[in-house]
Structure 1
């Protein structure tokens, strides 16, 4: 088992388990803050507010620039935040979930309602105006018109910075050839969950059952090099996609796998296991 420990130390870190990391600036811009809305979309809204303030849109040029800037930037960012909070809720509706062409106009109409309230009370606070139900009714169509390009621009910014991710590839199911040729056909076709060393034997766990093979654990680790998995213990290797839950206690742990199987995590491998990107 001495050789197995040496190979295992390599196996715990030499696995294709991490995706290519985003540039920190892109990660910060695309990190959701309100619903799906991230800093990128909110920044776009703030810039639009700056532009509307500078040109004095909707006769706002009659007001001093400071209050104009505060008004337009605040109402656009706050209104966009309302849309960001509403959008995930709309996506839970079966009718809208996979129909962005239908979800977009519904989102515009829905976000315009709280945005109208924000516009009216911001105007009251900055310009000493008067709030009334008639004002809300009069403002709602205007705010709705403004929300249309806002949603389009926010979605365009999101698409540019968060390109559609390809469909995830199915997890590597079958055991590697070295193990597969020793397994009965039913298990050779099954999904590999874990490999466990038992003295001079190897217990191969699959979702169709397990089998005991005469093989060194070190040889098995070498065969598993190309698999998406990790060594968690001197006598355990686990497929990453098989892990459902990680339980920790006093520097050690257990990984609960598909089907209820539990694989131990020893102190020597705990740090490497904790650092894994499970996505």
Structure 2
């Protein structure tokens, strides 16, 4: 969609001296120029994310993706321009002009794609007294009754890091204790009592590795360790947890009643 929008805008503006051509003709030209570049950008960005070597360095990642896209895409644009409008000769100056133009456009579109990217929308499971996944709390709130069964005691120590998470972290953090997990773009920030770092993993996969008694998914983008909780309170109409080390974590409206019932405050 971003590529189509960019093609339409460039066609309307008649960018790069294409304004003399009929609108439909230049729209077709820009679609042939932008859309292959967008697909190439998606493929390269996916590969860079899977590599993970630039995790946490957003602007470096954007620059690297834009450069990797612009090199092959420059020649695609030259071919498309030659077919639609003709080029007298492909000289180093022509390649340099198109290369710089393509790089600028690639930087803009890569930045837009990166900033528009959000963690995949994953439903937050409603915690029930035994820690199992239940019906959404919004649907059950009107009929919610505190359980008469005794609640399990809150863990007194922070959980250890699951092996599949620990092996993705720097050595200095692998033996640390887990405080919270936060989604950041395509990554997860693992907060521990020895510091934090990013790993490439989905929130649902990380939560599946953790014992049910260790904590809960308190927000779409947050998991919190039960033993790290210091307070659960409302501030300016929004609920949030204060965790060990002063970390504050938002609590979704769907989870608030259930957490209170389990004694998180």
Highest CA radius of gyration, 1 or 2?
1
Per the normalisation by structure 2, the TM-score is 0.44
Higher helix share: 1
Per the normalisation by structure 1, the TM-score is 0.42
Q: Which has the higher contact order (CA 8 A, sep 6+)?
A: 1
